[in-house]
Amino acid sequence: MKRSWMDRVIDSIEWIAAGFVGIVALDIFLSVLLRNTLNYSIPDSFDIGRMLLGILIFWGIAATSYRGTHITVDLVWGNVGPRHQRWIDVFATLVLLFVVTVQTWTLFDKVRLTYNDNVQTFDLHMPTWPFFLVAWIGDVCAVLLIAIRTYRLIFHPEDMHEPNIKVTE
């Protein structure tokens, strides 16, 4: 089965987000290991860890937005028919697209201001704007994936793949 370019883009963004999970886990593991075994602290480990967590959050938004695997409240959705469920999904996705687009716009302003103000880390004096830029790119990817989700919900609902998540009671 040949995958569409949209599916390849979606998969690539999800793999990048997964990579950031690994980077954050490795950073935390190394920081704790060195601090507890050698009594050594990595210079700027707090700042770097904080910025990596920010990157992870924005790339995580991108990864969960398309699949619809984020936390939802389905009280009304679960009690209506498939046609109304689809329109609720379209409306909710359009609201999400608007909110994340505004967030992306404001985050770009933060990247610009951080660059212009030459904000640096305390110990190593590394510029912080590249971290903000990578987070912003994750937010741009979220907008892209939410736009793809909206398009598919409206014009090609058969292309939407439901996640295989089972809830046990």
The confidence score (pLDDT) of residue 69 equals 61
What's the mean pLDDT when you consider all of the chain?
Answer: 86
In this predicted structure, the answer to whether residue 143 has a pLDDT above a threshold of 90 is: yes
Q: Percent of the chain scored above 70 by pLDDT? A: 90
Q: What are the start-end ranges of the H helices in 38-81?
A: 45-67
Q: Percent of the chain scored above 90 by pLDDT? A: 46
Collapsed DSSP state (helix, strand, coil) of residue 40: coil
C-alpha distance from residue 87 to each of 29, 82, 83, 155, 158 (Å): 44, 9, 7, 12, 14
Burial of 63 (0-12, 13-18, 19+ CB in 10 A): buried
The confidence score (pLDDT) of residue 1 equals 58
- Identity of the residue numbered 87: W
Asked if 140 and 104 touch (Cβ cutoff 8 Å), the reply is yes
In this predicted structure, the answer to whether residue 94 has a pLDDT above a threshold of 80 is: yes
Q: What are the boundaries of each domain within the chain?
A: 5-159
- Identity of the residue numbered 104: T
Higher pLDDT, 72 or 99: 99
